[in-house]
Structure formats: C-alpha cells, structure tokens
Amino acid sequence: MLFNSIEFALFLPIVFFFYWFVFNKNIKQQNALLLLASYIFYGWWSWKYLILIFISTMVDFFSGIMLQKEHNRHKRKVYLFISIFFNLGMLMYFKYANFFIENFVTAFTFFGYKPDIKSLNIVLPVGISFYTFQTMSYTIDIYRKKMLPTKDFIAFATFVSFFPQLVAGPIERAIHLLPQFFKPRKFDYSLAADGMRQILWGVFKKVVIADTCAKYVDIAFSSHESMSSIALITGAVLFAFQIYGDFSGYSDVAIGTARLFGFDLMQNFAFPYFSRDIAEFWRRWHISLSTWFRDYVYIPLGGSRGTKWKQVRNTMAVFLISGFWHGANWTFIAWGFLNALYFLPLLLLNKNRHHLDVVASGKILPSIKETFMMFITFGLTVLAWIFFRAQSVAQAVDYIKHIFAVDMSGKGLHVPKFLLLALFVFISVEWLQRQQKHGFYLTEQIPVLIRWSSYIILAFITAFFMGKANSFIYFQF
C-alpha cells in the first residue's frame, strides 16, 4: 500500500479511529490492532510477503529468548549466527542471487567458457532490506547484553512490521522502538498535529518535488548521448532533488504517521544538502542506515581505533557494503566507492568530525566560505548520484563524459518554470527550517491565520499535482 494512494488515505483514518476510540484503554489490544493493520498494509502488495516477514519474526523472537537463557558463550554465538544467517541468507537469495549468477557467467565467459546457468525468476519482497536489518539489531543487542528480550510475541511482531516505517524505514533499533509498545499511550493533540504537518510536507516532497523532477530526469538519462552539457548537469541536479524528495518524503510520512499513534521514530534526514563536507552529509543522510553500519559494522571492525590504514580499511568496507545494500548492481558499489574516496581525505586529515553543528546557526544567510563549502559538497554528491541513477557503470561514465565534453550543440532539457519555482520555495523553506525536526515544523507561536493558510496552500498544491500514485524509489531496495 502506497502512502500517496487513495487506499492509504482511507486505511489510515480507519486504523486511527479503532486505535483511539475502541481499543484506547488496552495496550495489548492496541498492539494487536497495529499488527493486523501492518500485515494488511504489507500484504496489500502480495500476501506471500507475509510468510517471509512472519518467519523472520519467529526466528528472531525465539533467538532472542534463547540468547537470554543461554550463558555458554559458544552456544550464544550459535543462536546469534542462526538469526544473522537466516536474515542475511534470505536477503542474499531474494536480492542478490541473480546478481551473483550473472557475474559468475560473465566471469567464465571472459575466459572462453559460458556456463549454461539461467537467472532465477525471483520477485524482490518490498522492504526486505529494511526489516531484516531491524530484526538483526534486536538479536545483536541482546547478544551484546544491551537489552533484554521480550516474551510478548504480539508486541515484537508489531515492532518488526510496524506499518509506518516497515517498507522504507527509518530502520529502528529495538532498544528505542520496542519499549514503546509496552508504555501506556494517550492521545496528544500537539504531537498528532505536528505529525499531520510532517505527513503533509512529506507528501508534498514526494508528489510535487520528486515525481515532477522524475519526468525530466528520465529524459536526461534515457537520451544523454544527444543532450547538451548543461542539460545533463540539470538532469543530474534534478535527480538529486528527486531522490531526496522521494526518500525523505517517505520518512516524513512514516515519522508523522507514527506520531498519530503516539510513537516516536528517529529522524532519518537532517537537511543533508546544507552540509559543508561529505562527512557531515553522511551524518545527515539516511541517518538510520548510516548509524546502523557504524554500530554493527564499522565499530566491530575496529572503528577509528588503530592505525590510519585500519581506519581507511574500515571506512572503505562500510561504504562498499552500504552501496551493495542499496542494490544488486555494480552502479551502487561504484557509488559507495566514490563516496568513500570523498570521505577518506577528511579521515586522513582528522577533519571528519569538524561540522557537528547546524550551518549558519542563528543566522539567516551563510558566510561566503560556508556557501562555497556547501556548493562543493552538493556538486560532489550530484556526481556520485549519477552512478546511483544510471542503469550501468558504463552509462554513468558515458553520462559524465558528455558533461565534461562541454557540448552546447546538443538538445536542451526544457524544465518548466513552475518546477523551478517549486524547487526555489522548497529549498528556501528547508533552509529556514534547518534547525527544526522537519521542514514544516510550525510552533504555536506562529499566528493561527498564517499556520492554517500554509496548510491549505500546501495541501491544494499537492492535490493539484496528485495523479497516479508513483512508487517510492527505495521500495526497490
């Protein structure tokens, strides 16, 4: 079920009504309702997906219990291995089996022998990369004795399948989200109102910004050989806003929806395009995944301890794994590798922790130096996004070659003025709100007339652009 669909527009108020007006006095009944709603939400794509998520839930639920009961170190490792092996095995099969088969055939073909192996007919379950990482964090944290397992299967199953963030995150940690299913929840108007504002802002980013940019991005990438350099640069920049509007828009809707039910999800994007270097960008982009890799890959590998060579090795490993997590294509690995190359100079010069504050904090405009740094960081990010968007590494390289060929004779990309205006307004609002939780965070201090006028205008613009419900980019991951 898509957030930007009529089905969800009907689904959400129904669940909300029963949650607060029928089962509001019983936490277990509320959790059971959320579990049912989450399975309906996820099964809307295909009921077969429910089998996988249920089995994954069972494996990690019982692995957690056994990890707590067992004190023998060797046996505890076995239970942890079962959880990780099952989740990663399921992920590797559904997401990467064909990738390995195709590259295996290509490698042998290079040496003059072509194996008669065909790709498998596998359909990638929506959101599998997200909920497998979420459940693995549960068993890993129990193994590390950072938390105790739950014996409430309904609560745990609801944590795994919680519909607001199930399909595309944020990737929540059990230590943060799971305890919320055991606390009494009372309706908070101010929390719900802010949730609605964040939902509206998220849908606006998806429908008006991302989906509109997508039309012109598709043109640029599908016929880049005949495009002028300026047109290709424009296409790459528009993709940067497309993927940001699409993914952060989903996160906004997810976080806002969770607030309607009294839950707090972690912030997943913190205005990343206002970053002054790549390290800051990665602290602000897809925060839930970046911190997951930090805590469960980077630090176990040694983190920032040891020699510079080990730090470089650990950093490179995280970026390459992050790229591979995004998809079974060499383009994502190239994207991860390129971002690692951006990051390494900062690491080697010990400057990767320099910009921990908000840019131009307390000021309306940034300094000339800050503007230059943001411009360079954004430019490097856009260059890397070309690999992310391209169908192959060869296409990405060719796209970049045509940019630097400085060809003004090719076709232009005729971007309508309304999109340029929408992007200007969007960037301006995000800049002014960069110290807030989200772009449409409005306090009660702002006059009622201004607040409600903003809601109506934004809702009207979004409704005007609303057409066929387009899937979110990160559903493929």
What is the residue extent of each domain of the chain? Answer: 6-186, 190-276+355-476
> Which residues sit opposite 227 in a β-bridge?
411
Res 2: pLDDT: 80
CA distance 344 to 339: 9
CA distance 169 to 71: 33
- The neighbour count for residue 43, using CB atoms within 10 Å, is 15
Positions marked active-site: 326
Res 362: pLDDT: 86
* Residues 6 or more apart in contact with residue 335 via CB below 8 angstroms: 323, 326, 384, 385, 387, 388
- Residues lower than pLDDT 70 in the chain: 103-120, 468-469, 474-477
Of 266, 269, 274, the closest CA to residue 201 belongs to 269
Hey, what long-range contacts does 337-341 have (CB within 8 A, 24 or more apart)? 338/383, 338/384, 338/387, 339/278, 339/282, 339/384, 340/315, 340/316
CA distance 277 to 275: 6
Res 407: pLDDT: 78
Angle, CA of 226, 227 and 230, to the nearest 5°: 160
Res 110: pLDDT: 58
Angle, CA of 368, 374 and 378, to the nearest 5°: 145
CA distance 311 to 115: 40
